[in-house]
Structure 1
Amino acid sequence: MCKSLRHVHAIDAFDWISSKLLATLWAVRDYFIRRFLLFIPTLLVITMIVFGVSRIAPGGPLEQAMMEAQMVSMEGGGGRAEGAALSEEQLEQMKELYGYDKPVHVAYLVWLGVMPRELNRRDVDFIDGRTNLVVRMRVPTFHVSDLDWNEDGFVQLSEVPKSVASYVKFEQLDTNGDGLLDGWEAEAEAATIERAREPVEVELVDGQPRIANAGENMVDWKVRQVESAEEMKDVPRAELYRTRYAGVFQGDLGKSFRHGEPVMDVMAQRLPVSTFYGVLTFIFTFLVCVPLGIAKAMKHNTWFDNGSSVFIFMGYAVPGYVLGALMMVFLAARLEWFPTGGFVGPHYESTPIENVSVTADSSEWLGKNHGLRDGQHVWLEGDLPRAEPALEKEAAYVVARKSQDAFELLPEAGTPPILIKANAGKVELRRHTTAMERAWDLAWHAVLPLLCYLVGSFAFVTMLMKNHLMDNLSADYMRTAIAKGVPFSQAVRRHALRNSLIPLATNIGHQITLFVAGSFLIETIFDINGFGLLGFKSVLDRDIPVVMGIFLLSATLMLLGNIISDILVALVDPRVRFD
């Protein structure tokens, strides 16, 4: 009967909260419609400012590449200044790589995906009277006699097999030797044209090149002049490219300069780590600090209030990274109570089974104190012994015990056991960890970093709750409620506590950005590969695509957090009107 009543009360409470939330949202629907309409323009302005600053800030990726080339040139050429600079062609290639070959506003629109991005760009030359555009290529292990050659030693794309995967620029092809192309030096580039069945013909129209004759697979390619007609010397340079919309609106944030991977993949690898600590920090902060602030306000100037304030402000005075360094030295390195770093340990997914060996005089596996049980899945590492059928490291084996000190390995259920031959080498037997073991390993590694994340926000949220509750306890409506005979605890719960939650409601939405923010100092101390460390290294390396991706995600969460804060304020305080 009691369980049924509690179930009914829980359903009634859920229905009340749902109806209250819907009524609140309906009352302020016009305000939130305006907020959502301003969401996209605000996000565009934020990203536009960050993108512009990244382009004009000194020490960008282009300058860093030039400095690295200068250092290499000075080391290899005896420090001569004239050999330190990049050639014009190399500088042009660097600009294309880092997106500095276009104005800032055009590059920003390309990053957004509003304007098409130039893909598969290839530098090519005009030959034969500046009319034929020939794409020169590298064909591994392909015979020269099967290709169509020009008199000057260049290969035209008259017939290219499917195996050709790369088209590059050659300074000059050498026809001597064994007639194979795979040994020639070339500037390799990514795969582009898969098959062009006829040569690409280009003609000059009013000093501008255009494709006059192209293969069927090149109908969507374009050609542009790299240098103006006045700047062209003996052989004019042009560039083949094709376009595709690939930006934010298409879900493409570009490719990282430092990692060489798509930005989405780089961020996705680190998002679970930062989200894990961000969510736990958010939950523990409000679950602990709100009740603690209420208790301190109700017991103001008592030993509990004064004693807890000492520890709270001690934690607030010590920065999180300093506390992390101290705990790392004393609790992890010296006392070995906690691991010295990492998100999880090396034995998170698998752990070795102790005291298991293969003897040289027996065809049995001996497992003294091995702790194995029938049906347990294990797999092998190390030098595998000879067996029939052969053992595989990647395969999972099922244990079948023969006696107290011996067992067999079955590769699959219902198959004959594997017989180990004599004189076998040393083998490490491992087993899959259980869900409880993985949870314990994760929690064990998370204790110290989580304390560092929590130490700063504990004092702020606790004292914010205490001070506002004390102000409301001394308000006139509290004295009126008590004078009318309302019990003090009920008056606090219905009146003072609700009004004291308004400042916290405004702060909850802003805490959402902590889900992906992280702290590069804490992550560096504990060797955690999270968002904070990624953002810090990306700024140092001038990895603009990653920086823009992190700012885009952070700005989106910040704007969503502001809207969530407004919803919570309207839900807690019915007097609030968003007009």
Structure 2
Amino acid sequence: MALLAYLLKRLLYTLPLLLAVIVVIFLLINAAPGDPVDFMIGEAGADQAVIDRLRAQLGLDQPLPVRMWAYIQQVLSGNLGYSFSSGAPVLTLILDRFPATLLLMGTQYTLAAIVGITLGVLAARKPRSRTDTVITFISLASFAIPVFWLGQMMILVLAYQFNWFPIQGMANLRRGYTGMDYALDVAYHMVLPAATLALSNIGLITRLTRSSMIGVLGQDYVKVARAKGLGERAVLVRHALRNSLLPVITVIGDTLPGLIAGAVIVETVFGWPGLGRLTLDAINARDYPLLMGMFLAISVFVIVINLIVDLLYAVLDPRIRYQ
């Protein structure tokens, strides 16, 4: 019951937070330089009457407070507006690209968590050993490498030089795969972008897991478990690892906004048809409704992930009680 009450309270707190997010996003987008009408007209130019008529059709001739109030009412009714550049509903464009981004993000998060936690546990077993030194060097190097440079190097070496993986895209459209063949083709195309995103997270998760595990392994209950004759694997997994995962999960949730920003670069480099490329296209086109819809969707996604992280605390540590 305490957990349910906490969940309901957090959902109530989310409503004013979303309203503030809508207002901030609207003000930031409209304060950005550039005019969508100028972009739509292009270098050919147009008469002032045509420009005024186009601005009126897009609603850009209204004062900023009027446009903001109209946008808030529009969003609260479930309508994110229509794209300036394509004329399609913003919600439809986002939902069309969301599965590709969710697949890429989920895959890289799973990969980063499994590899990072495993390396962190191995390093914490014997601190300052040769294994610990090697893992520390690898984790620091992976965390320090810029995502855009790593992606380009992977394309240059693994895709272009050795021809092991495809350079861009999500699937081979020429082959027309279906069913399991299509799923395997998507997984094959996802190797390089998922590995690029995961490597930077692996370094952070490894360092945090190592630090947390070293602190937990020195606790009395771990010493008692070893004194009872439990095997090293049981001590590490059942006693130490579970109690050291809370800060790791917190960091995974906190790094999500930065990871989404990295996804924009990675999806552009690898030609992945997700929300990242859609955001970049909207920025280049000064597509205000699409940009505001994208940022709102990302904000909601981050809020939901943070809520899930908070709820996982009670699952991993029964001592936590939500009041």
Q: Same fold (TM over 0.5)?
A: yes
**Would you say 1:60 and 2:20 are equivalent positions?**
no
Deviation at 1:502, TM superposition (A): 1.1
The answer (yes or no) to whether the contact 1:510–1:561 under 8 Å persists in 2 is no
Match of 2:212 in 1: 468
Match of 1:487 in 2: 230
Q: Distance in 2 between matches of 1:102 and 1:575?
A: 55
Indicate how the Cα distance of structure 1 residues 516 and 318 shifts in structure 2: closer, same or farther if over 3 A, else same.
closer
User: Which of 295, 306, 319 is the aligned partner of 1:575?
Assistant: 319
Indicate how the Cα distance of structure 1 residues 328 and 475 shifts in structure 2: closer, same or farther if over 3 A, else same.
same
User: Which of 283, 286, 289 is the aligned partner of 1:539?
Assistant: 283
**Would you say 1:446 and 2:190 are equivalent positions?**
yes
Q: Distance in 2 between matches of 1:437 and 1:563?
A: 36
**Would you say 1:301 and 2:111 are equivalent positions?**
no
| 1:344 maps to amino acid | A
Q: Secondary structure at the match of 2:286?
A: coil
The answer (yes or no) to whether the contact 1:570–1:577 under 8 Å persists in 2 is yes
Structure 1: runs of 5+ lacking an equivalent: 1-25, 74-83, 115-246, 350-432
Q: Distance in 2 between matches of 1:311 and 1:512?
A: 22
Match of 2:66 in 1: 106
From the CA coordinates, give the structure whose radius of gyration is larger. Answer: 1
Match of 1:249 in 2: 76
| Higher alpha-carbon deviation: 493-502 or 555-564 | 493-502
Question: After superposition, where does 1:327-338 map in structure 2 within 5 Å?
Answer: 327-338=154-165
Match of 2:13 in 1: 38
Match of 1:237 in 2: none
Deviation at 1:47, TM superposition (A): 1.2
Residues 236-294 of structure 1: per-residue CA shift (max 9 Å, x gap): xxxxxxxxxxx323432111112222212222332222111111011111222222211
Q: Secondary structure at the match of 2:172?
A: coil
The answer (yes or no) to whether the contact 2:171–2:185 under 8 Å persists in 1 is yes
Deviation at 1:545, TM superposition (A): 0.7
Match of 1:203 in 2: none
Residues 94-129 of structure 1: per-residue CA shift (max 9 Å, x gap): 3223322323233223223x3xxxxxxxxxxxxxxx
The answer (yes or no) to whether the contact 2:105–2:194 under 8 Å persists in 1 is no
Q: Distance in 1 between matches of 2:321 and 2:180?
A: 49
The answer (yes or no) to whether the contact 1:54–1:544 under 8 Å persists in 2 is yes
**Would you say 1:312 and 2:139 are equivalent positions?**
yes
Kindly indicate which of the two structures has a greater share of residues assigned to helix.
Answer: 2
Identity %: 30
Match of 1:283 in 2: 110
Match of 1:81 in 2: none
| Higher alpha-carbon deviation: 488-497 or 450-459 | 488-497
Deviation at 1:508, TM superposition (A): 4.3
Q: Distance in 1 between matches of 2:271 and 2:145?
A: 21
TM-score normalised over the length of structure 2:
0.88
Match of 1:95 in 2: 55
The answer (yes or no) to whether the contact 1:512–1:558 under 8 Å persists in 2 is yes
The answer (yes or no) to whether the contact 2:82–2:88 under 8 Å persists in 1 is yes
Indicate how the Cα distance of structure 1 residues 492 and 529 shifts in structure 2: closer, same or farther if over 3 A, else same.
closer
Deviation at 1:302, TM superposition (A): 2.9
Q: Secondary structure at the match of 2:84?
A: coil
The answer (yes or no) to whether the contact 1:282–1:511 under 8 Å persists in 2 is no
Structure 2: runs of 5+ lacking an equivalent: none
Q: Distance in 1 between matches of 2:140 and 2:256?
A: 24
Match of 1:549 in 2: 293
Kindly indicate which of the two structures has a greater share of residues assigned to strand.
Answer: 1
Deviation at 1:455, TM superposition (A): 1.2
Q: Secondary structure at the match of 1:519?
A: helix
Q: Distance in 1 between matches of 2:4 and 2:218?
A: 35
Indicate how the Cα distance of structure 1 residues 436 and 34 shifts in structure 2: closer, same or farther if over 3 A, else same.
closer
Indicate how the Cα distance of structure 1 residues 502 and 106 shifts in structure 2: closer, same or farther if over 3 A, else same.
same
Greater RCO structure (CA 8 Å; 6+ sep): 2
| 1:487 maps to amino acid | L
The answer (yes or no) to whether the contact 1:343–1:527 under 8 Å persists in 2 is yes
Indicate how the Cα distance of structure 1 residues 324 and 509 shifts in structure 2: closer, same or farther if over 3 A, else same.
closer
**Would you say 1:323 and 2:283 are equivalent positions?**
no
Deviation at 1:438, TM superposition (A): 2.3
Deviation at 1:554, TM superposition (A): 0.9
The answer (yes or no) to whether the contact 1:61–1:98 under 8 Å persists in 2 is no
| 1:305 maps to amino acid | D
The answer (yes or no) to whether the contact 1:274–1:518 under 8 Å persists in 2 is no
